[in-house]
């Protein structure tokens, strides 16, 4: 088993509010990890700390061949942070597409600006990715001409464009009308089956049961329970997991 990603003892505070209280998490290459937990428990902050949109105060993050440590008074350099972030991709709850760019241009943007790919190369890779997420025909549409589900699939193609080694999803379907959720989850399952390493915050328990290798429950900035979906979702060991699942009507 090759470890693709590891976080050790990550702590993160906003002012006096400690949001992440020493979290350890690792992902094997190709593993799909689903993170669940109550609103406000720190799930988004956890993902943002992995791609360093939020800066931990303590702990370390590791991808193959590179480690970033957070120690008080010795912040990592911005070059280190950028290099680390570029190896990850993020899919946001609210898509975050540029409204003035077409689907194709949205997918090309990061490849051209961040990765300095030629436009021709970025265009051909982006067309491939849009086709893969079922939107080859929509390449020239602007975000406002697309449904939420289509916009989110553009968001996934964009995240894939820069060839990330780790893909992060923050409640990717929670802003969608129910009938649009399936297409997005379908694309995510296809990526999972191709061996993409993924950390997914979601309340889609069917996705968790069918696609996750491991489910982790976070509450109040602490990892409460972790295990195969069958165990965590059907036979949780911890009272806090049971009460969360019963609140979302799963137990």
Residues near ligand ADP (CB under 6 A) are: 14, 19, 37, 39-45
Minimum separation from the CB atom of position 71 to Mg ion (A): 27
Minimum separation from the CB atom of position 16 to ligand ADP (A): 11
Among residue numbers 4 through 43, which ones bind Mg ion (CB under 5 A)?
A: 43
Q: Which is nearer to ligand ADP, 45 or 241 (CB)?
A: 45
Minimum separation from the CB atom of position 167 to ligand ADP (A): 18
Minimum separation from the CB atom of position 54 to ligand ADP (A): 7
44 binds Mg ion (CB under 5 A): yes
Q: Which is nearer to ligand ADP, 41 or 162 (CB)?
A: 41
Q: Which is nearer to ligand ADP, 2 or 16 (CB)?
A: 16
DSSP assignment of the chain equals --EEEEEEEEEEEETTEEEEEEEEEEEETT-EEEEE--TTSSHHHHHHHHTTSS--SEEEEEETTEEEEEBTTBPPPHHHHHHHHTTEEEE-TT----TTS-HHHHHHHHHHHTS---HHHHHHHHHHHHHHTT-GGGTT--GGGS-HHHHHHHHHHHHHHT--SEEEEESTTTTS-HHHHHHHHHHHHHHHHTT--EEEE---HHHHHHH-SEEEEEETTEEEEEE-HIIIIIS-SSHHHHHHHHHTT--
Q: Which of the choices ligand ADP, Mg ion, none does residue 229 contact, using the CB cut-off of 5 to 8 A by kind?
A: none
Q: Which of the choices Mg ion, ligand ADP, none does residue 144 contact, using the CB cut-off of 5 to 8 A by kind?
A: none
Q: Which of the choices ligand ADP, Mg ion, none does residue 14 contact, using the CB cut-off of 5 to 8 A by kind?
A: ligand ADP
Which positions lie near Mg ion, rule CB under 5 A? 43-44
């Amino acid at each position: 088993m090759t470890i693709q990603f590891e976080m050790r003892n990550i702590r993160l505070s906003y002012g006096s509010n400690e949001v992440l209280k020493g979290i350890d998490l690792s992902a094997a290459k190709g593993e799909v990890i689903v993170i669940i937990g109550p609103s406000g428990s720190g799930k988004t902050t956890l993902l943002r700390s992995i791609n360093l949109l939020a800066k931990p105060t303590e702990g370390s993050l590791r991808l193959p061949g590179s480690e970033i440590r957070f120690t008080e008074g010795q912040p990592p350099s911005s070059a280190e942070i950028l290099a680390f972030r570029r190896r990850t991709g993020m899919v946001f709850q609210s898509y975050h597409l540029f409204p003035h760019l077409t689907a194709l241009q949205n997918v090309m943007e990061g490849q051209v600006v961040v990765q300095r790919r030629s436009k021709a190369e970025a265009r051909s890779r982006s067309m491939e990715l849009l086709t893969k997420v079922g939107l080859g025909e929509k390449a020239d549409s602007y975000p406002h001409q697309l449904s939420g589900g289509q916009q989110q699939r553009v968001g996934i193609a964009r995240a894939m464009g820069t060839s990330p080694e780790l893909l992060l999803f923050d409640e990717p379907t929670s802003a969608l009308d129910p009938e649009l959720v399936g297409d997005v989850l379908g694309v995510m399952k296809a990526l999972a089956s191709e061996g993409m390493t993924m950390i997914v915050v979601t309340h889609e328990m069917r996705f968790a049961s069918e696609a996750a290798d491991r489910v982790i429950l976070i509450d109040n900035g602490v990892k409460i329970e972790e295990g195969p979906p069958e165990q965590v979702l059907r036979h949780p060991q911890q009272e806090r997991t049971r009460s969360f699942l019963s609140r979302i009507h799963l137990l």
